[in-house]
Amino acid sequence: MSSFTSFTHLKVSGISKSFPDRRVFTNISFSVAHHERVGIIGENGSGKTTLLSILAGELPSDAGTVELFAPQGEDLHIGLLHQQPQFPGSLTVAEVLERSIARLRTAEAQVADAAAAIATTPEASGAMHDYMAALDVAERLGAWGIEAHLETTMHGLGLDELARDKTVDQLSGGQRARLAMASLLLSSPDILLLDEPTNHLDDSALQYLTTVIADWHGPVILVSHDRAFLDETVVSILDLDPAPRQIAAQTHHDVLPSIGVTRFSGTYSDYVRYQREARQRWQHQFDQEQAEIKRLRAAVHEQQVVGHSDWKPRTESRIAKKFYADRNAKVVARRVNDARSRLAEAEQHQIVKPPEPLIFQGLDAATEDSETTIPVDEALIRAQNIRVARRLDPVSLNLSQGEHLLITGANGTGKSTLLEVLSGALTPTGGTLECAADATYRMLRQESSWDEVADQTARAVYEQTVGFERAQVVPLSTFGLLSPRDENRPIATLSVGQQRRLDLAVLLANPPEVLLLDEPTNHLSLVLVTELEASMEHYPGTVIVASHDRWLRERWQGKRLHLQ
């Protein structure tokens, strides 16, 4: 490995970013060393994707700098995986891959040219230097064995059987996402930025990506909702939410001296544990201080008088009365001033009340306002060898009202297709399917589709979609999915995760007897993912989930169906 790569690192100093309708983040500073793997977390809309875009040079910051360091002064290549693939739909798979490895082919050709120059004119000044420089770049990029590297990458991401003459438009959403990942990895960037890289990856592809990240030749910064993936890949956490910084400040516990961001060295699980304990300390300290302030305020009031209010000195002489009155006044004044001083000190240095987080109210938040005529345990779905040509092999299952089913399997086995069939959106090409006629079926799909109403606010779209009468009974705020500020923002300005939160709210406004969730944890914040999973077991209807999420699978308590 060359000395160039050994010292490649990134430094962020005081960057801030605002959009016309909101401030995203302020004064963020941190650094990422060579071969360091950092995970960025935060609520949907906290600026994770925006930060990656700034680091990649695709979006300017309002203030601050992003500096890239490499000893030999060569230009560094930064690669960013977007949540939505960026290639034109008319490109073929082969063209996408060839564009990806163009940098490697150039490096390979430069080594060959430099070697030829030495062979032709070995005495030429600088010929050996040019050859060594070209060789250094080629080794850093892994330019040897390009074709083998390409095939290994495609196989690792489950794309080795993908026809190279297919256009991007002809691919499924999952195939496009994995092709984007392959394209990025093959381009061999010096700094790797990944925005939700585990979406659409099955276990095999996920294991491959984990191995690649562990061996990456430069800094890696990733945003992910996958808790198990974060635990396995990153060595430190950057949290963009303000609450953790407030916790650290209020409890006088310095997590890390980063500005505008909380940094924690360790795994995601370690960080969650720390935050839970720190918030408990914050709440305990706040409660103690408020109790002391209440006691001091009462003391100021009570100590206006010393002794009994009707107390009189034994002697009735005017001199004695004045003497005792003066002494009483001095004692009262001293005690009141002391109590006031301590009260002022306590009020001046009191910590703020822990902010109330946005808490998901559960999949059943609106079930009290809806009714079902289907008794628990009544048969809802009977499927015998249902299949869809070229998309789903024969599957049989039986589900009753109230049962929960988790569908798992590798990419391409038909999990999403099966959900479409069960929801009634797709007709099977074989087998028999019987569904309760009086049951309602609603499905959360993997991708949001609000393009036609992108200029309208989230609240307005919610009301139009679920109906104004229903929105009056179950307003958008019922679910704890979007803050009041975000409810009043145009959908186009919401993050992908916030748009998916809106999808979920629309789905739950009229809770169905059969709730179908296709990769429900994709794009959502880590906190919401945890809350969403916990609420599934309390949903009174039938829940059918298709998911790659290992955390969810390991904790699933209901029935399971694995597609081969």
pLDDT recorded at residue 305: 52
Rounded to whole angstroms, how far apart are CA atoms 103 and 541? 53
pLDDT recorded at residue 2: 36
Q: Does pLDDT of 99 surpass 50?
A: yes
Shared domain for 431 and 536, answered yes or no, is yes
Shared domain for 268 and 293, answered yes or no, is no
Shared domain for 76 and 193, answered yes or no, is yes
Average pLDDT, integer, range 18-37:
90
Of 274, 303, 327, the domain-final residue = 274
Rounded to whole angstroms, how far apart are CA atoms 81 and 103? 17
Q: Does pLDDT of 348 surpass 90?
A: no
Q: What is the DSSP string of 137-159?
A: HHHHHT-TTHHHHHHHHHHHTT-
Shared domain for 383 and 463, answered yes or no, is yes
Of 274, 308, 326, the domain-final residue = 274
Shared domain for 52 and 201, answered yes or no, is yes
pLDDT recorded at residue 255: 42
pLDDT recorded at residue 362: 87
Quick check: is 211 in a domain?
Answer: yes
Q: Chain-wide mean pLDDT for the chain? A: 85
- What is the torsional sign of CA 309, 312, 318, 324? negative
Of 217, 250, 274, the domain-final residue = 274
Q: Does pLDDT of 417 surpass 80?
A: yes
Shared domain for 46 and 177, answered yes or no, is yes
pLDDT recorded at residue 355: 64
Q: What is the CATH number of the domain that holds 536?
A: 3.40.50.300
What pairs with residue 432 in β-bridges? 384
* CA nearest neighbour of 140 among 54, 74, 214: 74
Shared domain for 329 and 447, answered yes or no, is no
Kindly state the helix (H) or strand (E) to which residue 249 belongs, with its residue range.
helix 242-250
Kindly state the helix (H) or strand (E) to which residue 296 belongs, with its residue range.
helix 268-302
Give the residue numbers spanning the domain of 72.
3-88+147-274
Rounded to whole angstroms, how far apart are CA atoms 399 and 542? 8
Quick check: is 353 in a domain?
Answer: no
Shared domain for 405 and 520, answered yes or no, is yes
The more confidently predicted of residues 477 and 254 is 477
Give the burial string for 245-260 (b: 16+ CB within 10 Å, else e). bbbbebbeeebeebeb
Quick check: is 59 in a domain?
Answer: yes
pLDDT recorded at residue 467: 95
Quick check: is 77 in a domain?
Answer: yes
Lowest mean pLDDT of 263-277, 365-379, 428-442, name the range: 365-379
pLDDT recorded at residue 185: 96
Residues 6+ apart with CB under 8 A from 20: none
Average pLDDT, integer, range 471-497:
93
Q: In angstroms, what CA-CA distances link 12 with 68, 359, 448?
A: 9, 31, 32
Q: Does pLDDT of 126 surpass 80?
A: no
Q: Counting runs of H as helices and runs of E as strands, what totals does the chain give?
A: 19, 17
C-alpha angle 51-54-56 in degrees, rounded to nearest 5? 110
DSSP state of 14: E
Residue 349 main-chain phi, psi, to 5 deg: -105, 10
Rounded to whole angstroms, how far apart are CA atoms 555 and 552? 5
Residues 6+ apart with CB under 8 A from 251: 278, 281, 282, 285
Shared domain for 379 and 505, answered yes or no, is yes
How confident is the model over 213-251, as pLDDT tens digits?
Answer: 999 988 999 999 888 999 999 999 999 876 554 555 554
Lowest mean pLDDT of 121-130, 402-411, 478-487, name the range: 121-130
How confident is the model over 375-402, as pLDDT tens digits?
Answer: 666 788 999 999 999 899 999 999 998 8
Per the structure block, which two tokens stand in for 553?
Answer: 């699978």
What pairs with residue 559 in β-bridges? 405
The more confidently predicted of residues 362 and 326 is 362
Shared domain for 414 and 388, answered yes or no, is yes
pLDDT recorded at residue 130: 82
Quick check: is 379 in a domain?
Answer: yes
Rounded to whole angstroms, how far apart are CA atoms 189 and 224? 19
Shared domain for 204 and 322, answered yes or no, is no
pLDDT recorded at residue 290: 85
Quick check: is 482 in a domain?
Answer: yes
Quick check: is 139 in a domain?
Answer: no
Shared domain for 466 and 341, answered yes or no, is no
pLDDT recorded at residue 71: 56
Q: What is the count of structural domains for the chain?
A: 3
Quick check: is 99 in a domain?
Answer: no
Lowest mean pLDDT of 312-316, 319-323, 478-482, name the range: 312-316
